[in-house]
Amino acid sequence: MNLDEQCGAVKCPECQFPIADEYSYCPRCGTLLKRNCANCGHELKANWRVCPYCGMSIEEVESKTAPKMPLPEELTTPERVVEELLDVIMSTVIHIINADSGSLLLWDDDEQALRIRRAHGLQESVVRGARVRPGEGIAGRVFAQGTPLLLPPPRPDPELESLMRRGTRVSSMCVPLKGRMRTLGVLTVNSTTEGKIFTEADLEVVTALATRAAVALEEAMVQNATYSQWEHFTGELAKWSERRCRLREGQAMQVASWVEKLCFRLGLPVGEIPRIKLAALLCDVGMLVVPEALLNKEAPLTDEERETLQQHPMVSAMLVRLFPLCREQATAIMSHHEHWDGSGYPEGLSGEDIPLVARILAVADAYVAMTSPRPHRDAMEPADAAQQLLSNAGKQFDPRIVREFCQLLEDEG
């Protein structure tokens, strides 16, 4: 049985576009399984016998008894996307093949070995301690050679047969996780039930799944590495800027954290939120052009000094445009000191002419500023800062965002 037969793939009855569809929502992984044809939009009927993401059977879908796994759309960072994808890959293969145990091993550059990142039906001590070198055992051989293995082998192979005699396995399959650029690791599934022997057709299914999964995993890992590098760099740049002003250290991260939470609460596209958070870290990095004496001045600012200080959003926006992952937020960064009533700077924008992300930043930035000490005043209590936000809703701040932020503060306790 090939992959399409296993999943019950069909063609759209209107345009014959190949597609695989499912019944409703999978209660285990939350995947929307009833779809329209991607080619013509025609609504398709239930056709899949198992969820393509977690392997749940249609009977289980209808019974609604299985626990729901977090949706990928609910994840906050690319790193969590990678971790969730590993869960989904392991669960899918175990359920579709009806395996008794299995493991997903990824190459670890630091240890120069394969490490188990996900497992099913294996002892915890085995999972923690496993380190497999290329060419070592079944997994190491598959990783080194890049070809799938079926055990018992369909043709006599003394070396593989000797490996099979170790442990309680009746049958096993091990396939490489080949991305577009490199082999990421291997996927192994085992049968320990007497008489349950995997076939070449089963191997074809697992290989097809592993190939598709590896490409998605590779893309997620590349995105995660890029995001992590930029997050570290932007964080360090923000810290460098903050060190020039007494009592400001750590505030950029606080602002970014509140912005992230508020974005989720307001229903912004989840895939954009990590990028918005990166931009939030840099919203005041333009302070680098402001003299330290001015940043730390306790007396009231002169008009000339205030004009100098008000240049920082434009400098911040200029720097954000240099960052590939968040350059689209540069306009929002430049506008985060605009006021709802048009009295802000640098362009005097008002109302919804101010970018939404800028309005979110304005509330989060103001709250962190008020609850942090300054050279000329002590920090305000959170309740007093929230009251100030409410008092200025409709003047300095977007009223809707202020309401949501204050509710967020209340929910956080």
Q: What is the pLDDT of residues 210-244, one digit of tens each?
A: 888 888 788 778 776 667 767 777 777 777 777 77
Fold entry, domain 243-412: Hypothetical protein af1432 (1.10.3210)
- Residue carrying the six token digits 């609504």: 43
Give the three-state DSSP class for 48: coil
CA distances from 380 to 261, 317, 339 (A): 21, 29, 22
C-alpha to C-alpha distance for 246 and 138, rounded to whole angstroms:
59
Q: Are 272 and 247 in contact (CB under 8 A)?
A: no
User: Taking the CB of residue 248, how many other CB atoms lie within 10 A of it?
Assistant: 23
- Strands in 131-132's sheet, in edge-to-edge order, are 131-132, 113-120, 101-108, 183-191, 171-178, 149-151
* Residue ranges of the chain that CATH labels 1.10.3210.10: 243-412
CA distances from 82 to 11, 79, 134, 228, 331 (A): 31, 5, 23, 13, 30
- pLDDT of 146 reads 94
C-alpha to C-alpha distance for 222 and 214, rounded to whole angstroms:
12
Give percent of the chain above pLDDT 90. 32
Q: How do the pLDDT tens digits run along the chain, 413 residues long? A: 332 333 334 444 444 544 333 333 333 333 334 444 334 444 433 433 443 434 444 344 333 322 333 333 444 456 666 787 788 788 878 877 888 999 999 999 889 999 999 998 888 877 887 899 999 989 999 999 999 999 888 777 777 666 666 666 789 999 999 988 889 999 999 998 888 899 998 898 888 888 888 887 887 787 766 677 677 777 777 777 777 776 567 788 899 999 999 999 999 888 788 889 988 888 888 887 778 788 878 788 888 888 888 888 888 887 777 776 777 888 899 999 999 999 999 999 999 999 999 999 999 999 999 998 877 778 899 999 999 999 999 999 999 999 999 999 998 87
C-alpha to C-alpha distance for 413 and 409, rounded to whole angstroms:
6
Q: Which candidate, 367, 71, 408, places its Cα nearest to that of 266?
A: 408
C-alpha to C-alpha distance for 332 and 115, rounded to whole angstroms:
43
Kindly report the pTM of this predicted structure: 0.50
**What does the CA dihedral 270, 276, 281, 284 come to, rounded to 10 degrees?**
-150
Q: What is the pLDDT of residues 128-161, one digit of tens each?
A: 878 999 999 899 999 999 999 998 887 777 776 6
C-alpha to C-alpha distance for 91 and 199, rounded to whole angstroms:
20
* Residue ranges of the chain that CATH labels 3.30.450.40: 73-224
Q: Are 134 and 142 in contact (CB under 8 A)?
A: no
Q: Would you tell me which CATH number, out of the four given (3.20.20.10, 3.30.750.24, 3.30.450.40, 3.90.1150.10), belongs to the domain 73-224?
A: 3.30.450.40
